[in-house]
């Protein structure tokens, strides 16, 4: 059996130099995101979201990016969830996209705020029916006695809303993350990776710097 310490991969596919990068960080993100989609990576919109509790305890989980609008990253969740409770107390969050097949990751720090009710409702009704019912059935992050409890609630809701519109729950909606820094990481050989960091300036322009790997 191989030692964990011996598991390694040398990255050789590409590079990221300053003259390759766009002056706008969100434009650069869109370029890389489009390339991840073109590479047919499974769920390229999957991103790790890190939040911090009022006690200073960090939590990370994978959520799905559901839009990029006006320079902000959008995702949706239950406002009863641990992530939402953390954000309400401390809106500073971090996001990470890792696209291994193209040897890239993007590390983002930013500030989260709730979407409007109208925006959340529009997205909610674009979801499959099962997902809409699931939002009602799940009191996300709460303890439940068994899977059967969840399945029974889904069945009950399915009957309740048979042939009718499922309303948006009061406890469900979205967040917009306005980035303060975005780092683009391109894997290179011998762990000498390319790291370019954009930092938002007071006038909303971006300062570009290279970081040592």
Question: pLDDT digits over 119-174, tens only?
Answer: 999 999 999 999 999 999 998 888 999 999 999 999 999 999 998 999 999 999 99
33: in domain: yes
Verify that 57 and 96 share a domain, yes or no. yes
Q: Dump pLDDT digits (tens) for 13-54.
A: 999 999 999 999 999 999 999 999 999 999 999 999 999 999
Confidence of residue 8 (pLDDT cuts 50, 70, 90): confident
162: in domain: yes
Write down the pLDDT at residue 189: 96
Verify that 97 and 143 share a domain, yes or no. no
3: in domain: no
Write down the pLDDT at residue 6: 86
Q: Is the pLDDT of residue 2 over 90?
A: no
202: in domain: yes
111: in domain: yes
Write down the pLDDT at residue 207: 98
**Does residue 110 contact residue 122 with C-beta atoms inside 8 Å?**
no
Q: Dump pLDDT digits (tens) for 91-103.
A: 999 999 999 999 9
CB-based contacts of 13, cutoff 8 Å, min separation 6: 102, 103, 187
Write down the pLDDT at residue 62: 98
Confidence of residue 1 (pLDDT cuts 50, 70, 90): confident
φ, ψ for residue 154, nearest 5 deg: -60, -45
2: in domain: no
Residue 176 has a CB neighbour count (10 Å cut-off) of: 21
Verify that 150 and 77 share a domain, yes or no. no
Report the DSSP beta bridge partners of residue 74: 67, 176
For residues 176 and 122, what is the distance between their CA atoms, to the nearest angstrom? 15
Q: Tell which residue, 76, 98, 79, has the closest CA to residue 88.
A: 79
154: in domain: yes
CB-based contacts of 184, cutoff 8 Å, min separation 6: 16, 21, 28, 29, 32, 104, 106, 194, 195, 196, 197, 198
Verify that 160 and 147 share a domain, yes or no. yes
Say which CATH number the domain at 184 has: 2.30.110.10
Verify that 119 and 185 share a domain, yes or no. yes
Choosing from 12, 117, 191, 210, the catalytic residue is: 191
Q: Write down the mean pLDDT value for the chain.
A: 96
Task: Give the side-chain half-sphere CA count within 13 A for 23.
Answer: 3
87: in domain: yes
Verify that 74 and 146 share a domain, yes or no. no
Verify that 194 and 93 share a domain, yes or no. yes
Verify that 110 and 196 share a domain, yes or no. yes
**Known catalytic residue at 188:** no
Verify that 72 and 158 share a domain, yes or no. no
Helix (H, G, I), strand (E, B) or coil at 54: coil
Verify that 100 and 196 share a domain, yes or no. yes
Q: Tell which residue, 99, 36, 112, has the closest CA to residue 72.
A: 112
Q: How many domains does the chain have?
A: 2
From residue 82, alpha-carbon distances to 10, 40, 68, 109, 119 in Å are 37, 32, 23, 19, 22
pTM: 0.93
For residues 96 and 53, what is the distance between their CA atoms, to the nearest angstrom? 19
Verify that 16 and 110 share a domain, yes or no. yes
Verify that 53 and 152 share a domain, yes or no. no
Residues spanned by the domain of 153: 126-167
């Amino acid at each position: 059996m191989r030692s964990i310490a011996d598991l390694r991969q040398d990255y050789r596919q590409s590079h990221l130099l300053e003259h390759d990068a766009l002056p706008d960080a969100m434009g650069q993100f869109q370029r890389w995101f489009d390339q991840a989609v073109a590479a047919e990576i499974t769920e390229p919109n999957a991103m790790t979201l890190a939040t911090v509790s009022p006690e200073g305890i960090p939590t990370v989980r994978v959520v799905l990016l559901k839009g990029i609008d006006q320079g902000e990253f959008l995702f949706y969740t239950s406002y009863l969830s641990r992530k939402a409770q953390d954000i309400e107390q401390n809106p500073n969050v971090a996001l990470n996209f890792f696209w291994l097949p193209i040897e890239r990751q993007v590390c983002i720090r930013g500030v989260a705020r709730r979407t409007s009710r109208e925006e959340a409702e529009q997205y909610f009704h674009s979801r499959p029916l099962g997902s809409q019912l699931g939002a009602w059935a799940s009191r996300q992050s709460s303890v439940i006695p068994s899977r059967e409890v969840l399945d029974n609630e889904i069945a009950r809701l399915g009957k309740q809303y048979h042939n009718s519109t499922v309303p948006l729950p009061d406890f469900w909606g979205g967040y917009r993350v306005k980035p303060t820094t975005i780092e683009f990481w391109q894997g290179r050989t011998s762990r000498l990776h390319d790291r370019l960091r954009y930092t938002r300036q007071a006038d909303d322009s971006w300062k570009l710097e290279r970081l040592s790997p």
